[in-house]
Amino acid sequence: MTSENVRKVTKFIVSHVVGYGTGVIVYGIIKNNVAPDRTHQKIGVATASFVLGDLVSSKTLDRSNELVDKAFDAFDRFRKNNTES
């Protein structure tokens, strides 16, 4: 597997973990702060939490990809500096 493929796979895994975690956090915040009484309110809150989780996840995706790139770039620099002798 090439270094670029490892980077892509890492980004894929990290983005999904971060996306899932973000969705869980958003849902928990809404669940603990909103107490809908009627069925249509419950459906609305569940739908809104899903949409908000998706919106926040899309923003965290960019940041997590940036962090993965920084980590891989730092590792590549480290490896290059330690193999040049």
The tens digit of pLDDT for each residue in 20-29 reads 888 888 888 8
pLDDT at position 84, please? 66
pLDDT at position 27, please? 80
pLDDT digits (tens, 9 = 90+) for 37-64: 999 998 988 888 888 878 888 888 889 9
pTM for the full predicted model: 0.68
Following DSSP, what letter does each residue of 21-64 receive, concatenated? HHHHHHHHHHHHH----SHHHHHHHHHHHHHHHHHHHHHHHHHH
pLDDT at position 13, please? 93
60 is in which domain, residue-wise?
3-83
**CA gap 58, 71 in Å, rounded:** 20
Q: Based on C-alpha coordinates, what's the Rg of the chain?
A: 19
Number of domains in the chain: 1
